[in-house]
Structure 1
Amino acid sequence: MTLIALTLQAFFTDRLARERQASPCTIAAYRDALRLLLGFVQQRTGTAPAKLDWNDLNSDVISAFLNHLEDERGNTRTRNVRLTAIRSLFSYAALQHPEHALLIQRVLDIPPKRYDKRTVTFLTGQEVDALLAAPDPKRWEGRRDKAMLALAVQTGLRVSELTSLNCDDIALGDGAAVRCEGKGRKQRTVPLDRPVQNLLSAWLNERAGRRGDPLFCTRTGRRLSRDAVAQRLTTHTQTAAKTRPSLLDKSIHPHVLRHIVSAWFPCGY
């Protein structure tokens, strides 16, 4: 019998954190995936995670877990993401436990599921105008949201990049740009148009944050979450739809803002 507890801990502390120097987001995603798996196995077998053996995580159990994600939790789009985390753990375990090579190989042979890719929605120039006019300029949250949406539209930042921005990531004046750490921890700098500079300059003055403080925050100073950005976008889309009903026919989510042609950006903002 070989308990998985020691290998599971070493996977996070040695493989992910020290060897691969994975980002906090990657570590958190893998943690959540494996926590779901261990909870599923415990509920199914009654065995606590600390008592699990590798034989308790064979390919049949992993396949049942993936089916559970789809059928009971409705996680169709994240199934393959969870599988990636599991396969990463088992790839690491293959080097530590050659005595379980056959079991591990069968898990690694579980293929990702293919899905039909949905059509990416885009917004017209008039719809962008309506969306940027939706936040209430009389409210603190409205001024924050307008600056945030304008920045997203003009730069095409991912929502994770947008929420991770700090006050000192914005450079105004000559050569105005936003600096961010993108997917795969790639550093990039995106130039800013004059209308967005003006919005961000006003917001930074009102925000009055220190260099390392989050650029877009709640009233208590906490960094906005992905869900909070999505919720704000939904709220403003509903408001904008009063003047542009065509917005109701589109699936508007933060990723849509990455597909707006920069030439459409309204110069009046």
Structure 2
Amino acid sequence: MEESLTEYIRFLTIERGLSKNTVESYQRDLKQYLLFLKENHINHWDAVDRYTVLSFLQRLKEEEKAAGTVIRMVSSLRQFHQFLRQEKISTTDPMLHIDTPKKAQTLPKVLSTKEVEILIETPNTSETLGIRDRAMLEVMYATGLRVSELTELKLDDLHLSLGLIQTIGKGDKERIIPLGDLAIEWIEKYLKHSRNRLERPDKRSLYVFLNHHGRKLSRQGVWKNLKGLVKKAGIEKEVTPHTLRHSFATHLLENGADLRTVQELLGHSDISTTQIYTHITTHRMSTVYKTYHPRA
């Protein structure tokens, strides 16, 4: 059974070309599933039936896993069992009569334009790391990059004279994103005054954003820095790197951008993923109306 999982992970990586993070997510889910099957003395795939899967999902609920986690797990199991059937590793598909639970739609948290301004201006730009953090925040808000895309950004991906950057997103899809004047200005300041101090002379780096050891800034490093800056800025909302991505998309739509353009900028393969932001703008419009209209 473990060999089947290894074979499936190879299939996701090579044949489907999924990103490293997506593959790792599938692997985590399915290892958890395999462990449950072993605990229940199930040692071949044809012994897995609908009730086995339902018992596993019930275990997740008893462990108080979030609804989104359970939905993702059902999706992982559905695709995995389809693979086992297609490859004739099993003769049955226990997922055929299992419905995907519905998830209550929650709107992503966004910052107001004023809050974004305060946050971006928080780093102390008289310091080396402060210049880096200011450039980093400017880029995140100017482009809506995912945190993984930000940390993987290379010097060769910057085309500042053209006002563009290129990035590789989910599914290894490349996209070109325009940069605003302020983001360009702060990247140039960072490259000129800060990055050369962070980079070790004996170990050159291809990456744009470096930590104080001269190595590529990690995702955890971005989260940690952002958490400290949010606290320093006095913003009481829960803010993650993805909050800046949500804010980027929402502010574009609020200022008249069309949905297709925002979809391209965010790198969404399906426009339905982008449509969540239209709900945010409608929700905010309703809130403003109810607050300020004298007869609302």
> Shorter-chain TM-score: which interval?
0.7 to 0.9
2:252 is the counterpart of 1:252 = no
Q: Which residue of 1 aligns with 2:56?
A: 65
Residue deviations 1:55-87, cap 9 Å, x none?
Answer: 454333333333333432634322222222222
The one of 75, 78, 82 equivalent to 1:84 is: 75
2:222/2:241 contact within 8 Å kept: yes
Return the offset for 1:118: 1.7
The one of 2, 7, 13 equivalent to 1:5 is: 2
Return the offset for 1:132: 0.8
Rate the CA distance shift 1:215–1:112 in 2: closer, same or farther, 3 A: farther
Q: Which residue of 1 aligns with 2:179?
A: 192
2:173 is the counterpart of 1:180 = no
Q: Which residue of 2 aligns with 1:244?
A: none
Q: How far apart, in 2, do the equivalents of 1:57 and 1:227 lie?
A: 38
- The aligned amino acid for 2:23 is I
The one of 230, 246, 257 equivalent to 2:223 is: 230
Rate the CA distance shift 1:71–1:127 in 2: closer, same or farther, 3 A: same
Instruction: With the length of structure 2 as denominator, give the TM-score of the two structures.
Output: 0.72
Rate the CA distance shift 1:124–1:26 in 2: closer, same or farther, 3 A: closer
Return the offset for 1:221: 4.0
Q: How far apart, in 2, do the equivalents of 1:116 and 1:159 lie?
A: 25
Q: How far apart, in 2, do the equivalents of 1:154 and 1:93 lie?
A: 44
1:165/1:180 contact within 8 Å kept: yes
User: Secondary structure of the equivalent of 2:120?
Assistant: helix
Q: Which residue of 2 aligns with 1:131?
A: 119
1:168/1:212 contact within 8 Å kept: no
Q: Which residue of 1 aligns with 2:210?
A: 217
2:14 is the counterpart of 1:40 = no
Alignment RMSD: 2.7
Residue deviations 1:144-192, cap 9 Å, x none?
Answer: 222111111111122232222122211112x121111123332111111
Rate the CA distance shift 1:159–1:73 in 2: closer, same or farther, 3 A: farther
Larger relative contact order, structure 1 or 2 (CA cutoff 8 Å, min sep 6): 1
Q: Which residue of 2 aligns with 1:31?
A: 27
Q: How far apart, in 2, do the equivalents of 1:67 and 1:149 lie?
A: 42
2:205/2:215 contact within 8 Å kept: no
Return the offset for 1:98: 7.1
Return the offset for 1:212: 6.5
User: Secondary structure of the equivalent of 2:229?
Assistant: helix
- The aligned amino acid for 1:187 is E
Return the offset for 1:131: 0.3
Identity of aligned residues (%): 27
Q: Which runs of 5+ in 1 are unaligned?
A: 242-246, 265-269
Q: How far apart, in 2, do the equivalents of 1:65 and 1:177 lie?
A: 47
Rate the CA distance shift 1:70–1:252 in 2: closer, same or farther, 3 A: farther
Q: How far apart, in 2, do the equivalents of 1:189 and 1:149 lie?
A: 19
Count of aligned pairs: 245
Q: How far apart, in 2, do the equivalents of 1:213 and 1:109 lie?
A: 50
Q: Which residue of 2 aligns with 1:267?
A: none
2:46/2:90 contact within 8 Å kept: no
User: Secondary structure of the equivalent of 2:153?
Assistant: coil
